[in-house]
Amino acid sequence: MAIASAGREGPVAAPRGRLVGAVAGVALLVAAVGVYTQMGTLGLSLAPALVLLLISVPVFLLAGAGIRRLVGTGEVDHAGYPFALALPSLAYYCAFFLIPLGFLILFAVATPLGFGGVQYGFDLSNFRSGLDSLYVEVFLRTLRTAAVGTLLIVLVGYPLAYWIVRYAPENRRGLLLALIVIPFWTSFLIRTYSYLIVLSPEFFVSDWLEALRLTDGPLEVLYTTGAIQLGLVYNYLPLFVLPLYAALGRMDWGLVDAATDLGASQWAAFRQITLRLTAPGLITGTLLVFIPMMGEYVIPLVLGGGRVDLIGNVIQRLFLEAQDYALGSALALLVMGALSFFVVLYLYLSVRTEQEYGA
């Protein structure tokens, strides 16, 4: 692991050296994880923690170089970067993501004792409870809501991204992208709550819609699934548009021009070239929106008036109100498992995208 990247060039260490290198690398990693997790016992506040984390990068680099020298691989190949650069992140993830998740798994297979207490052991009954029809129904409803929301986002966001890439003046692109992000420099909570005003039956939007005879009376979408849908679309739109923009930007538009020159209609060219070539980017953007949507619980609470429950609300309640950490953990793991298919899809696509556009 501590060996330099496996490029086509560059010498490779002998097998025994590789083993030593790997062991040394793992030891280094474990040491780093230990240090990171002990930051608390040392009572570090924000600034010292920051410094500690920053100096770990050069420490890793030096250690990596030292191990390499020890193992005898010599020079790094030309365009490669030492793997030691990835170790700080790896240690960080281990310390502050994997280990806490481990606790979660521990809780999921424990026996609940009430009021948040658990008895550690191996008990799968939580998973059985989690698969109860009630939770499955809520999960499916969440799936439906997220699917519709994602579809809407694609429909709304795709033309926008397309326009920015294709037709917007090039020197304005940065500005246009920034304009998409700027609304999100106000707080998510305030934006969501402001929709309470926008959709309020006493606001002018409702009055206008009524005057235009588009609705039969004052606007009634607030506190319904529709309002939640609107809130989801509004809040997750940039997460879709930006990656899509990146994908569309990488495409060679000469191909489309060539196709239309050869007589294809614009629509056919779009369908067969643009859509197909940027499909990975499109799907990536979709997943980046769909998956977090599944865990959303603030928007249903605010815009849905608490009347509609999504699976995120159920899990939150299990932890905070029922204090059934065991069932909550199990349910969370089940949801993550259900989403894992999408995760794998995402992984596969991003690898493929890289292969097509990468070095």
Partner 1 sequence: MDDELRILAPDSARPRVQQMVNRRQALLAGGGAMAAAYLAACGGSTGEGGGGGSGGGGGDDGEDAAAKPPTPADGDVESGPLLIANWVDYSDPANYKGYRSELGPKVSVSGYGSNDELLAKLRAGGSKFDIVVPTGYAVKTMAELGLIIPLTRELIPNLANLSPAFTKTDYDPGNVYSVPKNYGITSFYWLTEKVSEQPASIKEVFDLLKTPKFKSLRVNFLEGGTQNAAMALAALGHSINTEDQAEIDSAKQLLIDVKPNVDTISSTFIDRATRGEIDFGMGWNGDIRRAIEALAKRDREMVFLVPEGNTEYWVDNWAIPKASEHPVAAHKWIDFVLDPANAGTEMNYHQYPVPVQGITGVQKALASDPVINVPDDKIAGYESQVETAKGLQQRNRVYTEFKAA
Partner 2 sequence: MPEALRRAGYVLAATAFVAGLIAIATFVVGLAGGEVSVRSAVALGLGVAAVVLIPRAIALPSLLGGYAVLVYLFLFFPIVIVVVYAFNSGNNTAVFEGLSLRWFSRALGDETITSAIGRSLQIALASALIATVFGTAAALALSRVSRRIRAPFDTLVFLTLVVPELVIAISALIFFVNAGFDLGLATMFVGHTVFNASLVLLVVRARFASMGSTLEEASRDLGASALGTFRQVTLPRLAPAIVAGALLSFTFSFDDVVISNFTAGAGNDTWPLRILAGLRFGLAPDLNAAATMMLAITLLGLGGAALVLRRAARTQGEPVGLAFTGEAAPAPAPAEERLSVGARG
Residues of this chain, 207-266, that bind partner 2 according to CB under 8 A: 213, 234, 237, 242, 245-247, 249-250, 266
Q: What is the DSSP letter of 253?
A: T
Binding string, residues 221-240; x marks residues near partner 1 by CB under 8 A: --x-----------------
Work out whether 338 is an interface residue with partner 2 (CB under 8 A). Answer: no
Residue type, 165: V
Does 198 bind partner 2 (CB under 8 A)? Our answer is: yes
Compute CA distances 47 → 29, 41, 136, whole Å.
23, 15, 45
Residue of 307, 304, 301, 302 lying closest to 223 (CA atoms): 304
Q: Which residues of 37-60 are buried (b: 16+ CB within 10 A; e: fewer)?
A: eebeeeeeeeeeeeeebeebeebb
Q: Does residue 297 bind partner 1 (CB under 8 A)? A: no
Contact flags string 247-276 toward partner 1, x per CB under 8 A: ------------------------------
Binds partner 1 by CB under 8 A, chosen from 306, 348, 351, 354: 306
Q: Answer yes or no: are the C-beta atoms of 105 and 312 closer than 8 Å.
A: no
How distant is the alpha carbon of residue 341 from its chain centre? 14
Q: Find residue 297's DSSP bridge partners.
A: none
Distances in Å between the Cα of 245 and the Cα atoms of 104, 225, 266, 344, 354 are 37, 29, 20, 22, 16
**Alpha-carbon distance 149 to 296, whole Å?**
12
354 in contact with partner 2 (CB under 8 A)? yes
Q: Minimum distance from CB of 313 to partner 2 (Å)? A: 10
Nearer to partner 1, 259 or 310 (CB): 310
Binding partner 1 by CB under 8 A: which of 314, 334, 335, 339?
Answer: 314
* Residue 306, contacted partner among partner 2, partner 1, none, CB below 5-8 A by kind: partner 1
Using CB under 8 A as the binding rule, whether residue 119 contacts partner 1 is answered as yes
CB atoms near residue 296 (< 10 Å): 22
168 binds, among partner 2, partner 1, none (CB under 5 to 8 A by kind): partner 2
Shortest Cβ 305–partner 1 spacing (Å): 3
Cα–Cα distance measured from residue 316 to residue 325, given in angstroms and rounded to the nearest whole number: 10
Q: State yes or no: residue 323 binds partner 1 (CB under 8 A).
A: yes
Dihedral of the alpha carbons of 266, 271, 272, 275, in degrees to the nearest 10: 120
Residue 186 beta carbon to partner 2: minimum distance, rounded to whole angstroms: 5
Among 51, 55, 85, 113, binds partner 1 (CB under 8 A): 113
> Which region, judged by CB under 8 A, interacts with partner 1, from 8-16, 27-35, 282-290, 304-312?
304-312
Judged by CB under 8 A, the residue of 32, 308, 334, 339 near partner 1 is: 308
Which residue in 197, 258, 268, 275 binds partner 2 (CB under 8 A)? 197
Query: Does residue number 178 form part of the binding site for partner 2 (CB under 8 A)?
Result: yes
Single out the segment in contact with partner 2 by CB under 8 A; choices: 4-12, 25-33, 125-133, 219-227: 4-12
Task: Write the Ramachandran bin of 3: left for phi over 0, alpha for psi from -120 to 50, otherwise beta.
Answer: beta
Amino acid at the residue 245: Y
Q: What sign results for the dihedral spanned by CA atoms 210, 214, 218, 221? A: negative
Confirm or reject binding of residue 317 to partner 1 (CB under 8 A).
Answer: yes
Number of residues that bind partner 2 (CB under 8 A): 121
Contact 93, 29 (CB under 8 A): no
The neighbour count for residue 342, using CB atoms within 10 Å, is: 15
Question: What are the contacts of 180-185 at 24+ separation with CB within 8 A?
Answer: 180/237, 180/238, 180/241, 180/242, 181/238, 181/242, 184/238
Using the rule CB under 8 A, which residue among 67, 138, 161, 199 binds partner 1? 138
Residues that bind partner 1 (CB under 8 A): 113-120, 134, 137-138, 141, 223, 301, 305-309, 313-314, 317-324
